Every structure is written in structure tokens, then in C-alpha cells.
Amino acid sequence: MLTGLAVIGVARFLQQRQDYENATARSYQREIVARNRLAQGRHPAAARAAVISQQHQRQALRDEISSETRDTALLVGAGLIAGLTGAALLFTGLISSMRRPLEDLVDASGRLAGGDLDARVKVGGLSETATLGGAFNEMAEELQRRAGERDQLDRMKDEFVLTASHELRSPLTSVQGFAELLLLEREKLTPKQAETVEVILDNTRHLVRLLNDLLDLARSDAGRLTIRPEQTGATGLIEDAVRTMRAQFDARAQELSQEIEPGLPQIEADRDRIRQVLVNLLTNANEYCPQGAKIGVKARRAGAEVEIDVTDDGPGIPEQQLEHIFERFSRGDAGETQRVGGTGLGLAISKSLIELHGGTIGAESTPGEGSTFRIRLPLVVPARVEAT
């Protein structure tokens, strides 16, 4: 409306200018008539007076138009200023009505990116920001739906692994049990038959190991891999694992030594799980190292931790493999794994188990010289630890 005032002002100015020019033109015509009369000598006094009067009148017209022009200019200026101010106010309003929804969007995007799939924005305000907010909410909805589907698939996978592992255990119990039964009467078997039964047993044990590893992994994924820590002698625990593995090392003519610092303290640990980790490390050393290799288990106290090293003088692990060695299904060279036949899960599970104890596990290796796996276990399991 104020801008309208400026327009009216300009129109009025143009009208006044027109009126002024018309009036001035008429005044000149009258003066010319008067001057003609004067030149013809008719009523010279009146003609002279008319000429002067017209000159005065034009002066008055000039004064009037300049004053009116000034007023109009003022009016136009005021109109323009008022118009600009209005526009500015309008913009400020526009910006603030956009700013809030945009700030909400930025905030919600941040939360969504941070994993809060419930993040939504209030849809409203200008149609553009409302559309944007609506689109954001649809996207978040879709993300949440897919995350839900993925969670459900994960649960189904975990459930499947648990069920499959359960169902496979009964037939495996029979196969392993009867093969063992046959070997108990080895003297009645021919050497060929005895060897055949050994193969059945080896493969059954491998299947059981694979099953147990898959089960542990499924538990780990479902957050159900748990430990039951109790006070236990570190020395006995290590000796126990070494004793379990002794026969396998003898079979490959490998030297297995243990060097445990005297007076190693009690630690808080799940005996079965720590033995599982040690047996896993020793099995790897046994299988990946050639006949005649030397494997050593060393344990010592280091502050509030017990440090256990499993060292071998085997082929070692190339640097690029060493980085990934604790990842799932990470295995040695294709040729090696053909021969060795592990599951590729042992170290990943070992890492989870050690981390559940609040400890760490790491590996160092020099290709051609050997490898060392080091476990550090705290004497006391800290409250609330999570495996990765």
C-alpha cells in the first residue's frame, strides 16, 4: 500500500507537470496577444499591463510547480522508504518462518545420522519447508522400516544357527560316539579299518568345532556370548591347556614347552573360555607350523595383568594378513588352509572372549622366523565390558 502511495505520487507529479505546462502555454499565448495589441498601438497601457501580468502569472506558476514538485518528491520518497521498509519487514518474517523448520531439519538429520531412527521433524510453516520436512520424515520412516527388517533378519539368522547347531548335535553324537566305540576295539580292526575310523573321527571333530564356532559367533552377534568368571589359578589354567594339546604336538614331532613365572596370582576368569582361547592358539601353532617346530607358552605377571605368550618358530604371518588375523573367516594362504582345515573363526571368537574378560589379544610376526600371540588378562574382570 505504501508502495502504492509512491505510484500515486509519481502520477500526481506527472499530472501537475502537465497542468503547469498547459497553463504556461496559455499564459504565453495571452502575452503574445497583448504584445500584438501593443504593437498595433491599440490600448497600449492595458496591453503593457497584460504583458506584465502574464509574466507575473508564469512566475507564480513556476513557483507553484516547484513547490508541488518538492511535495510530490517528498511523498514519493516517503512512499519508497515505507515500501522498502515493508519489504524488509516481510523478508525478515519470511526468513524467521523458514529458519525454525530448517534448524529442526538440521537437528533431526544429526540425530538420524547418529542412529536415532525415531528422529522426525514437525511439518508446517511455508509450503517449501513443509514439503522438505515431509520428505525428511518419509526418508526417516523408510530407514526405520529397513532397519527393522534387517534386525528381524538378524534374529532369524541367529535363531537358525542356534536351531541348526542343536539339530546337528544329535546325529554328530552318534557318529562320533560309534566311531570312538570302534576304536576302543582297535585290536579287532585291520590297520586299514582303524585308519578309516580315525578319518571319520577327525572329520566329526572338525564338524563339531565348526558348529561350536558358529554357535559362539551367533551368540556374540546376538549379544549372548557370556562368560562366567570365577577366581582361578592362572598357572593351573595354562598347564591344563598345554596338557590338553600335548598329544597333538607329539604327533607332529613338535616341541611344546611352558615357562610359567612362579607364584602367578589367581585371576578372575571363565576357565572353560580361557582354555578355549589357549587351545585355539596352540591348535593354530600346531597346525600351521611344520614338523619339528618349537612352540612355547610363557606366562608372567605384568602389574595388574597376567601376560600369556604363545610363541612359535614357524613360517610366520605376512604383514598384510596380520592386520586382518582377528577378523572372521580370516585364514592363511589358500594352500595352507587346504592343508590345515580350521574354521577361520577361532581368532575372532578368541578376541571376543578375551575382551569380555576386559583383556586384550594381539599378534606379532616376522615371516620366516615365527609368530607370537600375546594375551593380557586383568586380574579382576572390570564391570561392564563389551566384546567387539
Partner 1 sequence: MARILVADDSETILLLLRTRLEMEGHEVATAVDGHEVVDRVRTAGPPDILLLDAMMPGKSGIDALRELRAAGVETPVLIVSAHTEGDNGTDHADLAIDGYISKPIDFDQLFTKIAALTRPDPAA
CA atoms within 13 A on the CB side of 138: 6
Cα→Cα distances 81→6, 12, 86, 277, Å: 9, 18, 8, 83
276 counts as binding partner 1 under rule CB under 8 A? no
Q: Which grid cell sits at 76?
A: 514519493
Closer CB to partner 1, residue 145 or residue 224? 224
Interacting residues with partner 1 between 62 and 91 (CB under 8 A): none
Interacting residues with partner 1 between 189 and 228 (CB under 8 A): 204, 208, 212, 215, 219, 224, 226, 228
| Least gap, CB of 216 to partner 1 (angstroms) | 9
Task: Tell me the window of 17-25, 140-148, 164-172, 293-301 that interacts with partner 1 (CB under 8 A).
Answer: 164-172
166 counts as binding partner 1 under rule CB under 8 A? yes
Which residue among 172, 197, 200, 363 contacts partner 1 (CB under 8 A)?
Answer: 172
| Least gap, CB of 171 to partner 1 (angstroms) | 8
| Least gap, CB of 279 to partner 1 (angstroms) | 14
| Least gap, CB of 187 to partner 1 (angstroms) | 15
Task: Tell me the window of 1-9, 116-124, 177-185, 330-338 that interacts with partner 1 (CB under 8 A).
Answer: 177-185
Q: Which residues contact 123 (CB under 8 A, 6 or more apart)?
A: 130, 133, 134, 137
170 counts as binding partner 1 under rule CB under 8 A? yes
Closer CB to partner 1, residue 218 or residue 299? 218
Packing angle of the helix pair 44-113, 127-184 (nearest 10 deg) = 10
Which residue among 181, 253, 304, 385 contacts partner 1 (CB under 8 A)?
Answer: 181
Q: What is the contact mask toward partner 1 in residues 104 to 143, using x (rule: CB under 8 A)? A: ----------------------------------------
Backbone angles phi, psi at 186, to 5 degrees: -50, -35
Whether residue 245 contacts residue 283, with contact meaning beta carbons closer than 8 Å, is answered with: yes
User: Count of CB atoms within 10 A of residue 374's CB?
Assistant: 16
Task: Tell me the window of 50-58, 163-171, 248-256, 318-326 that interacts with partner 1 (CB under 8 A).
Answer: 163-171
Phi-psi region of 317 (alpha: psi -120 to 50; beta: other; left: phi over 0): beta
Q: Which stretch of DSSP H or E encloses residue 309?
A: strand 305-312
- Count of residues interacting with partner 1 (CB under 8 A): 23
List, in sequence order, the alpha helices (H) in the chain.
2-39, 44-113, 127-184, 191-221, 234-251, 271-288, 319-322, 334-340, 346-356
Which residue among 42, 62, 169, 243 contacts partner 1 (CB under 8 A)?
Answer: 169
| Least gap, CB of 268 to partner 1 (angstroms) | 18
Cα→Cα distances 268→195, 281, 306, 381, Å: 43, 20, 11, 6
Whether residue 219 contacts residue 259, with contact meaning beta carbons closer than 8 Å, is answered with: no
SS3 172: helix
For partner 1, the binding residues (CB under 8 A) are 162, 165-167, 169-170, 172-174, 176-178, 180-181, 184, 204, 208, 212, 215, 219, 224, 226, 228
